C-alpha cells in the first residue's frame, strides 16, 4: 500500500512539474510573440494560443493578462473606430476573467486603465472627459494595490502628461511620476517569472520630453 501511495505521489508531482514546465515554456513563447508581433495576424495567433492555455490552466491569471495585452496591441494598430472598440471590448473581457482569479493584481488593474486610455483615442472630443477620468482613477487604483508597479506609474505619468500638455499646464507632476516609474523599472523585481516587463521604453520616451 505504501508503495502505491509513493508511486502515486511521485506520478502526481512529476505530472504537476511537467505541466508547470509546459505552462512556462508555452507562456514564454506566446509572451515573446505578443511583445514582438508586427501584424494583427501574429497577435491574433498568439492571443488564440493564450486563450487555449487559459482554458487548460483554469487557475492562472497570466494567460488572460497577455491575451488582453495582445488585444490592446491590436486596438492600437487598428484605424477604424468601431473595430478598435471591439478589440478593446475583448481586452476588457480577458481582464475581467483574470480579475475573477486575482482581484487585487495591480498589473491587471493597470492594464484596465490602459484600455480606457486607448478608448479615448477613438473619439477624443466626446470621450475625453469620461474615459480619461476613468483611466486616471484606474491607474490610481493600480498604484495603490502595488506602489512599486512601474507600469502603473508609467501609464499614470503618460495620462498626466497628456492632460497637462492639452491644457498647457505644468508637466512637472507627470514627469515626477515618470521618474519614479524609471526607478521602479530599474529595481522592481517580481518573483513571478511570467510577470510583465514591458513599458520601460515608453517611459523613457516620455522622460525625453520632460527635459
Partner 1 sequence: MKLLGTLLFVLTAEVACGQTKISGSITDERGEPIPGANISIKDSYDGTSSRADGTFSFITTEQGQHELQISFVGFKKYSSPVELFGKAIVLSVNLLEEINQLDGVVISAGSFTAGEEKRRTILNAVDIASTAGATADIAGALNTLPGTQKVGETGRLFVRGGDGSETRTFIDGMVVLDAYGPSAPNTPSRGRFLPFMFKGTSFSTGGYSAEYGQALSSALVLNSKDKAEMNQTDIGLLSVGADVAHTQVWDRGSASGKIQYTNIRPYFNLINQEVDWKTPPASLEASGAFRQQIGKGGMLKFYGNFNQTDFSLYNHDILDPALTQQYDLSNRYRYINGTYLQELTTTWSMRAGVSYTYNQNDTRTEGVPAAETETGMHSKIVFEHSASEQLEIRFGSEYYQRTYEASRFNEVLQHEESVQFNEPLSSTFAEAEYYASNHFVVKAGGRFENNRLNAEVSVDPRVSFAYKPGKRGQFSLAYGTFRQTPLNQYVRLNKRLSPEKAEHFIANYQLVSDRKTFRVETYYKKYDQLVSYPAGNTALSSNEGSGYARGIDLFWRDSESIKNADYWISYSYLDTKRDYLDFPQVAIPSFASAHNFSIVYKHFLSKIKSQIGFTYSYTSGRPYYNPNQPVDQFNSDKTPFYSDLSANIAYLPKNNVIIYASCTNLLGRDNIFGYEYSSTTNSEGVYVSRAIRQAAPRFMFLGVFITISKNKSINQLPNL
| Closer Cβ to partner 1, 45 or 204, answer by number | 45
| Closer Cβ to partner 1, 43 or 185, answer by number | 43
Dihedral class, residue 133 (left if φ above 0, else alpha if ψ from -120 to 50, else beta): alpha
C-alpha cell at 180: 519614479
| Closer Cβ to partner 1, 43 or 181, answer by number | 43
| Closer Cβ to partner 1, 84 or 185, answer by number | 84
Tell me the closest approach of the beta carbon of residue 59 to partner 1, in angstroms.
Answer: 13
Tell me the closest approach of the beta carbon of residue 174 to partner 1, in angstroms.
Answer: 11
Tell me the closest approach of the beta carbon of residue 44 to partner 1, in angstroms.
Answer: 4
- Give contact residues for partner 1 (rule: CB under 8 A): 4, 7-8, 11, 22, 26, 41, 44-45, 48-49, 51-53, 55-56, 80-82, 85-86, 89-90, 125-130, 132-134, 136-137, 159, 163, 166-169
| Closer Cβ to partner 1, 4 or 38, answer by number | 4
Tell me the closest approach of the beta carbon of residue 188 to partner 1, in angstroms.
Answer: 26
Tell me the closest approach of the beta carbon of residue 211 to partner 1, in angstroms.
Answer: 23
Amino acid at each position: 500500500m505504501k508503495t502505491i501511495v509513493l508511486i502515486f505521489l511521485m506520478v502526481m508531482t512529476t505530472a504537476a512539474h511537467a505541466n508547470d514546465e509546459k505552462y512556462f515554456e508555452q507562456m514564454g513563447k506566446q509572451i515573446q510573440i505578443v511583445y514582438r508581433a508586427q501584424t494583427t495576424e501574429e497577435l491574433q495567433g498568439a492571443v488564440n494560443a493564450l486563450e487555449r492555455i487559459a482554458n487548460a490552466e483554469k487557475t492562472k491569471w497570466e494567460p488572460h493578462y497577455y491575451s488582453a495585452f495582445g488585444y490592446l496591441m491590436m486596438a492600437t494598430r487598428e484605424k477604424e473606430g468601431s473595430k478598435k472598440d471591439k478589440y478593446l471590448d475583448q481586452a476588457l473581457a480577458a481582464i475581467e476573467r483574470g480579475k475573477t482569479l486575482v482581484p487585487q493584481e495591480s498589473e491587471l488593474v493597470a492594464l484596465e486603465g490602459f484600455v480606457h486610455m486607448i478608448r479615448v483615442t477613438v473619439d477624443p472630443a466626446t470621450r475625453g472627459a469620461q474615459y480619461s477620468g476613468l483611466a486616471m482613477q484606474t491607474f490610481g487604483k493600480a498604484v495603490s494595490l502595488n506602489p512599486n508597479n512601474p507600469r502603473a506609474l508609467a501609464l499614470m505619468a503618460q495620462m498626466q502628461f497628456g492632460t497637462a500638455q492639452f491644457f498647457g499646464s505644468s508637466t512637472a507632476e507627470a514627469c515626477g511620476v515618470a521618474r519614479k516609474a524609471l526607478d521602479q523599472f530599474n529595481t522592481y523585481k517580481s518573483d513571478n517569472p511570467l510577470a510583465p516587463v514591458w513599458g520601460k521604453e515608453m517611459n523613457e520616451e516620455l522622460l525625453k520630453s520632460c527635459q
